[in-house]
Chain A
Amino acid sequence: MDEPHDTTEPHPDVPAADEPGADEPTADEPAVDETLLPQLVAVLTARWRDEGGRLCVGAPKRRLLESLRVEPESLEFLLHKLADQAAALGLELRDYRKAGDTWCCLTAVHGGPNELAERDQGVLGLVIHLVRKSGRRRHASMDEVREILVGREYLTEHQLQTILRRLDYHGYIRRSRGTVRLDCRTTLEFDEAAQKEIAEQAKALIL
């Protein structure tokens, strides 16, 4: 399951920054090395590819535990500390499920440019609509996408294939056996409300 869900709720063990003694560890707090925070930021904002060649967004908690060599409680504490500090920079710590692991990454709160051209994003908008329309199947058929975009002369077949490959390359969609699915980067960058609005726009503008 690739559905992301937010974990930006304040941790009960983390005192608010303006409370007295906020910087002093209490008896309940695990002993953590806060110099690990910059390393954590580096790991969560690194871009890399897995063995299958898919773009990976952030890092799985399991690997964070292995590489930082800390206890799970300490990692949770560090992540919540990071979430508090990231919020001041307009960033948000998110976690999501992927391939049986919980992954963490940082996203922008107020939007910003991404790596796609306008036309690529238009195709992504249409795919979002078709996937939502498919209900529980949660995928769009390639034939349907082709029929709309190529059949109605929005794009040529070559342009469509290039754009789909680019979306696949950047981790927005997954193509397999004549179907297109939304990959975790799309569900991370576009929440439920945004996807609903995009689907409505796609219906009005393209269909």
Chain B
Amino acid sequence: MASRKRPEPADDAQVLSRLWEIAHKYQRSLQRGDVVPLGEAEGDRRAVAPFGERLHTTTERNLDGITYRSLAEMQVRRDTRRLLSNLPGSLRLRRLGFEVAVRARPVVFMHGSGPLRALGLLASVNYQTEQVETLPEAAALLHELDESEHRVAMRDVDEAELERQRGEVKQRLVGRRFARGELAGSLSSSEADLLSQLSRRGEVAVVVRGDGSVEIRHGGARRRAGRTVAVAIKPRRTSRRDG
């Protein structure tokens, strides 16, 4: 399809002349860093399209190739400009910094003092590597977490203390029957863990009854002889003792 602005060239010489003109126009624009508007570039592309059938020699086809490459490069430039226009300036400057950094082959300094004493105006330059400082918001958040009553403090394991707590759990639960939700609500995470340990040792037996309720009994060989089922509960009670 020929360009609307110009009639289709009558002979091969005119075809070459027109191709040459378009190729030159885009080469010049690319060199200068100009962007040809989309409508104009589309018109040129349509003008070039029918010339392919009328090109015979290698030189003519090369010229055709150069023209299409220029059109494509201009398209890439136009799209890039359009995309870049949405980026904030600071990001574009940083992006250029990245492009510079990847091409650097730095001079090697191995000897001498790192921070050199600066003279004159240069003395006011802060040449130290940028320090990563703790953000005030982060510091406040950490402080708040430290103060939180839900925060679990790290402490050493004291076997005597653990044994005492196991005794307490045993004393509190043995001989009682709970609905499963009720048991979960009456235990904290650490108490549930201790109950699990007691059951594993055989000191208590957690008996699941036919109606789904759970009964905690004293352990023993006879208790362990029964069919074993897993009882999963999600402890919900919170305790100051955990914190």
A interface residues, Cβ below 8 angstroms from B: 41-43, 45-49, 53, 55, 57-58, 91-92, 105-126, 128, 149, 152-155, 162, 165-166, 168-170, 185, 188-191, 194, 197-198, 201-207
Contact = CB atoms under 8 A, between A and B. Distances in A.
Contacts of A111: 102-106
B160 interface: no
B230 interface: no
Interface stretch (B38-46, B115-123, B164-172, B179-187): B115-123
B97 to A, nearest CB: 4
Interface of B: 33, 77, 80-81, 84, 89-90, 92-113, 116-122, 124-127, 129-130
B94 A45 contact: no
A119 B94 contact: yes
Contacts of B90: 119, 154
Give 7 nearest A-B pairs by CB, closest first. Answer: A118-B97, A53-B119, A122-B97, A121-B97, A122-B93, A45-B110, A194-B103
Nearest to B113: A47
A122 B111 contact: no
A166 B119 CA distance: 12
13 contacts: A42-B110, A47-B116, A114-B106, A119-B94, A119-B97, A121-B97, A121-B104, A126-B96, A154-B93, A162-B125, A170-B127, A189-B104, A197-B99
A122 B91 CA distance: 10
B75 to A, nearest CB: 14
A122 B96 contact: yes
A142 B120 CA distance: 20
Given A46-B112, A53-B118, A169-B118, A152 B106 contact: no
Contact of A169 (B98, B102, B113, B122): B122
Contacts of B106: 107-108, 111-114, 189
A119 B93 contact: yes
B119 A49 contact: yes
Given A53-B119, A162-B125, A190-B104, A206 B94 contact: no
A54 to B, nearest CB: 9
B102 to A, nearest CB: 7
B146 to A, nearest CB: 33
A133 to B, nearest CB: 10
Contacts of B33: 203, 207
Contacts of B77: 204
Nearest to B90: A154
B122 A108 contact: no
Given A119-B90, A165-B122, 7 more contacts: A49-B117, A111-B103, A114-B101, A114-B104, A125-B99, A152-B89, A189-B107
B89 A118 contact: no
A118 B101 contact: yes
B116 A125 contact: no
A55 B93 contact: no
Given A42-B111, A106-B108, A198 B100 contact: yes
B95 to A, nearest CB: 6
